[in-house]
Chain A
Amino acid sequence: DAGVTQSPTHLIKTRGQQVTLRCSPISGHKSVSWYQQVLGQGPQFIFQYYEKEERGRGNFPDRFSARQFPNYSSELNVNALLLGDSALYLCASTGTTGSTEAFFGQGTRLTVV
Chain B
Amino acid sequence: AQTVTQSQPEMSVQEAETVTLSCTYDTSESNYYLFWYKQPPSRQMILVIRQEAYKQQNATENRFSVNFQKAAKSFSLKISDSQLGDTAMYFCAFMKEGYHYQLIWGAGTKLIIKP
**Nearest CB in chain B: distance from A106 CB, A:** 5
Q: Is the CB of A42 within 8 A of B108?
A: yes
Q: Is the CB of B95 within 8 A of A100?
A: yes
Q: Which residue of B lies closest to A9 (CB)?
A: B43
Residue pairs across A and B with CB atoms within 8 Å: the count is: 61
Interface centre among A42, A48, A56, A106 (most CB of B within 10 A): A42
Known: A31-B100, A42-B91, A43-B91. A102 touches B105 (CB 8 A): no
Q: Is the CB of B100 within 8 A of A100?
A: yes
Please give, as numbers and ranges, the residues of chain A lying within 8 Å of B6 by CB-CB distance.
Answer: 42
Q: Which of A45, A88, A90, A98 contacts B102 (CB 8 A)?
A: A45
Q: Is the CB of A106 within 8 A of B101?
A: no
Q: Which of A44, A97, A107 contacts B105 (CB 8 A)?
A: A44
Interface centre among B43, B47, B108 (most CB of A within 10 A): B43
Please give, as numbers and ranges, the residues of chain A lying within 8 Å of B4 by CB-CB distance.
Answer: 42
Q: Which of B44, B46, B100, B103 contacts A43 (CB 8 A)?
A: B103
B contact residues, total (Cβ < 8 Å):
24
Interface band, chain A? 20 to 34
Check if B107 is an interface residue, CB within 8 A of chain A: yes
Check if A92 is an interface residue, CB within 8 A of chain B: yes
Interface mask (A72-113 → B, CB under 8 Å = 1, otherwise 0): 000000000000000010101010011111101111010000
**Nearest CB in chain A: distance from B89 CB, A:** 9
Within 8 A of A (CB), among B86-103: 91, 93, 95, 99-103
Known: A94-B100, A104-B44, A106-B43. A41 touches B107 (CB 8 A): yes
Within 8 A of A (CB), among B1-43: 4, 6, 33, 42-43
Binding site for A on B (CB under 8 A): 4, 6, 33, 42-47, 50, 52, 91, 93, 95, 99-108
Binding site for B on A (CB under 8 A): 31, 33, 35, 40-45, 48, 56, 58, 88, 90, 92, 94, 97-102, 104-107, 109
